[in-house]
Amino acid sequence: MDLKESLLKKIKKRRAIIGVIGLGYVGLPIALEFSKVGFNVLGFDIDEIKIDKLNDSKSYIKYISSDTIGTFLANKKFRATTDFSKLSSMDAILICVPTPLGEYREPDLSFLLNTATTISKYLQKGQLVVLESTTYPGTTEEELLPILESSKLQVGEDFFLAYSPEREDPGNKDFTTSEIPKVVSGVTSNCLHLADLLYKQVLIKTVPVSSPKVAEATKLLENIYRSVNIALVNELKTIFDRMEINIWEVIEAASTKPFGFTPFYPGPGLGGHCIPIDPFYLAWKSKQYEVPTRFIELSGEINSNMPYYVLSKISEGLNRIRKSINGSNVLILGIAYKKDVDDTRESPSLKIISLLREIGANVEYNDPYVPFLSGLRHYPGLKLESVALDKESLKRFDCTVIVTDHSCYDWQEVVSSSRIVIDTRNATKFVKAGREKITQA
């Protein structure tokens, strides 16, 4: 039996051992999905704290319960390690490491390339390697493949390489990992066949495409589409604000059209790992082909400037009570990048806090899902602890800024107990008493 047929048989019988590198918001959910259907899964991460928590049945992601992890540990279907030499015992290796931007918005593939180098040291015949991290078209074949082939094994024959972009949406209760269709590609037909069969074991639907470049471009299109449309409504928000037109009412009215319109909503800036980052991967790659990316760069500029717009609205609100930002006590409500999650990656709150502190404001925050804030990649000096939120604590602040509209907040109490409120999410739309305190941003 050749290597491909041997691995196909293992996958069909769910005897293949799955290794997942990177146990964050992408890697941990997919690892648990494979465990759920009976595969033995070994999670890899360089963060010893994460590994210790997982092996002690403790979750560090809000929407993944510790009980779930404990069940798979007890059934011996899941365990975690920092020992990358165990990669040699895996049948399939899924790469779910960060692909951030550098200081000048250039792709930072250091995590991916370091991971690929590590895999190449332990790569065995018959293994399937799948990249899930978002990246620019060509990465799988131009960057990852040469490193893996340095092991002297031949792709499509000795080992198999595929690309299948993650589509995680942290905290989304309508679409869990297993319910989201998965785009799958392979460097060769054998690679595609194996990767497609593997993901069919755990996902409701797979979408095979002709090449890794197509799959890489698909992921970028999904997020560029959102980035450009969010930039559009963010720009309209600033225009309509000058015209004294409520953008939220406009969007609600336009949404009644049953065709040709999809609502997008403004905010204080973009957050999460995908939308603020992915468009710039394509913009960078396009420069190699001397093709301008005007929409992408313009949308990035608009979205990146939204925290500055929020800052101007904070200044406007404080002026109404004869205060300046310098010396004012400002409370940020919500530090996560979106409601009801504990994910702070690229959160606009971080930029807003940084801008306020530069001007001289005394800034504190409350977020029930993020009790501590430290060790941030782009804000290494930012160390804060979530403060209590009650009537008395709200009265301590000159200004309350709603950046993340968590469902657990009592907006009427927030407005009633605050001196002024800057609302970037239209969270206070149903608040009746105290509307004179609210400034929409």
What's the mean per-residue pLDDT of the chain?
A: 95
Residue 35, domain member (yes or no): yes
Question: In this predicted model, what pLDDT tens digit does every residue of 131-160 receive, in sequence order?
Answer: 999 999 999 999 999 999 999 999 999 999
Question: In this predicted model, what pLDDT tens digit does every residue of 416-437 receive, in sequence order?
Answer: 999 999 999 999 999 999 999 9
Q: What residues contact residue 323 under an 8 Å CB cut-off, 6+ apart?
A: 398, 399
Most confident of 13-22, 295-304, 368-377: 13-22
Residues 35 and 130 in one domain: yes
Q: Comparing 277 with 186, which gets the higher pLDDT?
A: 186
Residues 128 and 174 in one domain: yes
Q: Residue 275 pLDDT > 80, yes or no? A: no
Average pLDDT of 249-271?
96
So what's the pLDDT on residue 178? 87
Residues 392 and 266 in one domain: yes
131, 146 Cβ separation under 8 angstroms: no
Number of domains into which the chain is organized: 2
So what's the pLDDT on residue 143? 97
Phi-psi region of 302 (alpha: psi -120 to 50; beta: other; left: phi over 0): alpha
- Cα 141 to Cα 132: distance, rounded to the nearest angstrom: 14
Residue 360, domain member (yes or no): yes
Q: Which of 97, 285, 94, 100 is nearest to 184 (CA)?
A: 94
Radius of gyration of the chain (CA): 24
So what's the pLDDT on residue 1? 60
Q: What CATH number should be reported for the domain holding residue 66?
A: 3.40.50.720
* Continuous segment of H or E residues that includes residue 439: strand 438-440
Beta strands in 3-127 (DSSP E): 17-21, 40-44, 78-81, 92-95
What pTM, to 2 d.p., does this model score?
A: 0.92
Q: How far is CA 247 from CA 120, 148, 155, in A?
A: 52, 51, 53
- Cα 128 to Cα 139: distance, rounded to the nearest angstrom: 17
Residues 181 and 274 in one domain: no
Q: Residue 169 pLDDT > 90, yes or no? A: no
Considering 210, 245, 263, which residue would you say is the last residue of a domain? Answer: 210
Average pLDDT of 96-111?
90
The whole domain housing 394 covers 227-440
Of 96, 191, 274, 399, the catalytic one is 274
Q: Residue 377 pLDDT > 90, yes or no? A: no
- Active site includes 274? yes
Q: Residue 381 pLDDT > 90, yes or no? A: no
Residue 374, domain member (yes or no): yes
